[in-house]
Structure formats: C-alpha cells, structure tokens
Amino acid sequence: MTSKALEFRADSIGYRDAVIIRDVAVSLEAGEIAAVFGLNGSGKSTLLRGIAGIADAKNGKLSIDGVEQRVRTPEVLASSGLRMILQGGRVFRGLSVAEHLRLAVGSGREPPALLRGLLDVIAPVMRREAGVLSGGERQMVSVVCALLAEPRILLADEPTLALADDVVNDVLGVIRAVSRATGMAVLLAEQHVKSAVGVATRALLLRAGRITLDEILSTDAERAEVLTILNQPETQMNVPDVQTSAACQVATE
C-alpha cells in the first residue's frame, strides 16, 4: 500500500492555554490540493501552523511519505520536503529579492519553467531589499521562493493575501500546475473562495474548532455543491472573488 504524502493527527492545536482546534486528522495524497475554508478565526492558519510545528499540537503526529517526523522544526521539515508560505509574506528584510531567489533555488539549478510567469511579475523589484517592498510584493516573493524549493508538500496560508485581483488566479493557477506536473501535495488556506474551489481537488470546512466537511472536488457539480455550502450564512466568509483570467486558464490547462 502506497504511503500518503502527508498524514497528521492531534488531540488539539492552539497557543499556550488557548485551544483553537480539537480532534483533527488530515491527510494528503501526492498531487492533491486540499483547500481549507471557514470563518475568520475558525482555525485555518492554526491548522497549517500546527502541522508545521509553529502552533502547539497536543499529541501531534506527522508523517511524510510514511516516515514519522519526530522533530518538527522548519529546518527538519524542509529537509523532508515540506515548505510553508506564511500569511503576510515573511521575508529577510535586509536581503534583495534576487538574493532571496538565489537562496531558494540553490546553486547550479535553473528555475522551473512553470514559474517564469511569476518571476516576470517580480522582475521590476529584483534589486530592491525585501524590507522596502509593498505587502503584495513581499507575498509574491514568499510564494515564488517556496515554489523554487520544489517541495513535496506545500502548506500555503493565504498565498494571495494583498495581491492585485489580476494576479490572484495566476498564483493559484501556477500552484495547481506545479502540483499536477510534480505531484506536490498542497494544503491551502485561501480567502478567495471561488478561485480556491476552482483549483482544489478537495474541500475541508472548519467550524467550531473541528473539520465538519471533507469533500472531493472532481466535477463542476461537486464544486458547485461545495460553493453552495460555503455561501450559507453560517459559513459564508463574505470575501469577494476575482474572475478567472484567460491567462490563468491558458497557463494551467
């Protein structure tokens, strides 16, 4: 039996004495994109941070490709093929964008062709220090650096936060294209609900600290059904969606 790309269980996830999520179990197959939805404060970021070892996970157990990760620090998990895009675009403020990219891609390697479109977007700020970039520019650098590392597993916490509407679908489209091409498994928390449902292969819903929905998204009918659920008053996130751009469709189909 083939091992899952990622398996995670915990009795609870939170911060010190504050419990945000209870009795959680998440798994990802290679090439799968699971989008996590929920109201603000429902624990989407906390779930990703718990898996990454940033939030406190009581009795948390993480396996990558069937191998249990007994030490969950960013450095150890990175060596196992896991990368996380943190909300807000975390960067090294004193390094230039070009230096960030060189660190991410390593020596002697060329950036994957699938990322050329995103690299073109940040080309005008390549020489600037990250500390002077706008929020959207920092977010793009964070996304590109994570993908340049060619992870087996990507935890993406609001990867399109602060991005212009015409870039949102391009970013999500590239994540989908990389996943399809390389088998990268993705756990995605995303504010643009319709766009996220469009690229995801599974939908998870967090409500009152628990995962209350876990649905496969393989057909337009299944996506429409999940969107109906997410638009109900008790789950509606009230965030406007951008329209799928022609460039995104061409780049990812």
Q: Is residue 143 over pLDDT 60?
A: yes
Q: How far apart are CA 91 and CA 48, in angstroms?
A: 19
Q: Among candidates 121, 153, 117, 154, which has minimal Cα distance to 139?
A: 121
pLDDT at 251 over 50: no
| Average pLDDT score over residue span 54-68 | 96
Torsion of CA 118, 119, 122, 124, to 10 degrees: -130
**Residue 106 confidence class, pLDDT cut points 50, 70, 90:** confident
Q: At what angle do helices 97-105 and 135-148 cross, to 10 degrees?
A: 20
How far apart CA 21 and CA 44 sit, in angstroms, is 9
CA distance 5 to 147: 17
Q: Which residue has the higher pLDDT, 141 or 246?
A: 141
Asked if pLDDT for residue 249 goes beyond 80, the answer is no
For 118-131, what is each residue's pLDDT tens digit?
A: 999 999 999 999 99
pLDDT for residue 95 is more than 50:
yes
pLDDT of residue 247: 29
Amino acid letter, residue 150 = E
pLDDT of 193 over the 80 cut: yes
| Percent share of the chain, pLDDT over 90 | 78
- Give the burial string for 47-86 (b: 16+ CB within 10 Å, else e): bbbbbbbbbbbeebebbbbeeebeebeeeebeebbbbbbb
Q: Which residue has the tokens 């939805």?
A: 37
The DSSP code for 158 is: S
Q: 203 - beta bridge partners?
A: 35, 215
| CATH superfamily of the 29-53+74-252 domain | P-loop containing nucleotide triphosphate hydrolases (3.40.50.300)
pLDDT value of position 72: 87
Round to whole Å and give the CA distance between 170 and 152.
21
Label residue 2 by pLDDT band (50, 70, 90).
low
More confident residue, 71 or 143: 143
> Please, are residues 171 and 178 in contact by the beta-carbon 8 Å criterion?
no
How much is the pTM? 0.89
102 has pLDDT over 70: yes
DSSP percent split of the chain into helix, strand, coil, nearest 5: 40, 25, 35
Domain-by-domain residue ranges, the chain? 29-53+74-252
